[in-house]
Amino acid sequence: MGDSTTGRVTVSQVMDRIPVGRFHRRLLAICGSAWAFDGMEVIVISFTLPVLIGAWELSGFAAGLLGSASLMGMIAGNWVWGWYADEYGRVDAFQWTVLSYSAFAGLTALATGFYSGFALRFLTGVGLGGALAVDTSYLSEHLPTDRRGRYLVYLDAFWPLGNVFAVVLAWVFLSALPTGGVVALPVVGEVAGWRLLFASASFPALLVFVIRRQLRETPYYLARRGDVEAANERIAAIAEENGEEFTPITAESVETESSPGYARLFDADLRTRTAMISAAWFAVNFGYYGVFIWLPDTVGAAGVVGSVTVAGATIESVYLYFLLIGLVQFPGYVSAAYLVEKLGRKPTLGSYLVLSGVCTFLFAASMPGVSLLGAGLSGFWPFLAGLLAASFFTMGAWGAIYAYTPELFPTEVRATGNGFAGGVGKVGAVLGPILAGALVEAGYLAALAPLAVVFALGGVVVLAFGRETMGEPLF
């Protein structure tokens, strides 16, 4: 977007002169909160699905479709809202996507059966997918080049916080409630705990008030639209909040252009990186959701589910396993945040995907009844170690891919590129659980091995065809 050698001052040059400070930390907290709520909304179905199977007498196929409904919606959300953010603005898209997924998550409490439940979960997913595409684009366009990768990994580190929220809410409404998970409320009468769980999942809608009051459009977007004055006002406000001096961009550095849409992603200069990052997104989604949507059943099949007493309360151990898995994900993010700035985006993402595949295979091969690794490497401790290691590297891969993707696309299609790659990924997110569910009758190794293979293949594609973007300004 310009060259300082010709007297032009670009947005990237000015933003790089503002070091990370109070503004960036506040922005990370807001964007990260939306991210955590996304994680909560996605994983909550893992806990309610066993209840709904019994309440609605669902077949295995219907249960699989219901569990994947929000993921299907995320495909549409990624593609539609990513384009919308490039065409009409990041902030507008951000607030509508958050409001959308919160509202439909809450309305799921009113579902009466498979069809209404599927429709409401699908619509929840449309908002979720859009929020993920827009959130990363928005945050990336406010960060200096030397800290962008690390902060985008920090953003994704809010995801396990959402998982923890989901675990706590699920325990409260599905396990801790007396009288068989039913609550008697004034006026409305008896209400099933799963309905209260979904109703409570609507509280992220309150974040919309914060977005409307605290967030403004990005300088990159404003400059690309030709509004240099508004872009400079935005940069001045950021610099002032951080206690830094303000350097205005020049009109000569701005190339005004409307969003060219999806066709731009397949021009000669972008098509290889579009295909590469889309393959990586497919791999991480296929593996992650294939493992985690069915994880309560997998843990149960491993024979390690029971109950424990904590502070006088009896808690099913499956909730504690999810908490432990969530906690081990944080060091996965921290390691990725360090490595994307030291080794680069490409080697970090590629190697973490390969290691995710290896560890997924190891924990599957150590399941009870699987003798592939021998008696000494089967049982509880090898299973748990493999599962935690797979969680560690998978979350690190998620962090790295969110740091990498926005840097691969120019401003006019940054959200579109994010959305397209994420949408391809959500196709994998739908297929992974369905394939795992179809193969589980042949054994858990048969169900999990394809997930491990796709993880590893995605890493190989990144290492073979990716290009390094570390240290490069946004363009």
Question: Please, are residues 194 and 173 in contact by the beta-carbon 8 Å criterion?
Answer: yes
Nearest residue to 430 (alpha-carbon basis) of 82, 75, 117: 75
In this prediction, residues 421-427 reach a mean pLDDT of: 92
pLDDT for the residue 427: 93
Q: If you ran DSSP here, which 8-state letter would residue 428 be given? A: H
In this prediction, residues 413-436 reach a mean pLDDT of: 89
Nearest residue to 404 (alpha-carbon basis) of 453, 326, 465, 325: 465
In this prediction, residues 21-36 reach a mean pLDDT of: 95
In this prediction, residues 341-358 reach a mean pLDDT of: 96
Give 312's pLDDT tier (boundaries 50, 70, 90): very low
pLDDT for the residue 193: 84
pLDDT for the residue 367: 72
Question: Please, are residues 38 and 100 in contact by the beta-carbon 8 Å criterion?
Answer: no
pLDDT tens per residue across span 366-404:
876 665 655 555 566 777 788 889 989 999 999 999 999
Give the lowest-confidence range in 43-47, 230-234, 381-385, 413-417.
381-385
The residue ranking higher by pLDDT, 54 or 258, is 54
The mean of the pLDDT values for the chain is: 85
Q: Is the pLDDT of residue 433 over 60?
A: yes
Q: Is the pLDDT of residue 154 over 80?
A: yes
Q: Is the pLDDT of residue 69 over 80?
A: yes
Q: Is the pLDDT of residue 346 over 90?
A: yes
pLDDT for the residue 76: 93
The residue ranking higher by pLDDT, 379 or 169, is 169
Give 306's pLDDT tier (boundaries 50, 70, 90): very low
Q: If you ran DSSP here, which 8-state letter would residue 234 be given? A: H
pLDDT for the residue 261: 77
The residue ranking higher by pLDDT, 151 or 259, is 151
The residue ranking higher by pLDDT, 434 or 256, is 434
Phi and psi at residue 314, in whole multiples of 5°?
-85, 125
**Domain 4-465, classified CATH 3.65.10.10, yes or no:** no
- In angstroms, what CA-CA distances link 269 with 114, 214, 415? 45, 36, 17
The residue ranking higher by pLDDT, 311 or 235, is 235
pLDDT tens per residue across span 84-133:
999 999 999 999 999 999 999 999 999 999 999 999 999 999 999 999 98
Give 151's pLDDT tier (boundaries 50, 70, 90): very high
Amino acid at 47: F
The residue ranking higher by pLDDT, 323 or 315, is 323
CB-based contacts of 422: which residues, under 8 Å, 6+ apart? 74, 78, 82, 129, 132, 133, 281, 405
Q: Is the pLDDT of residue 361 over 50?
A: yes
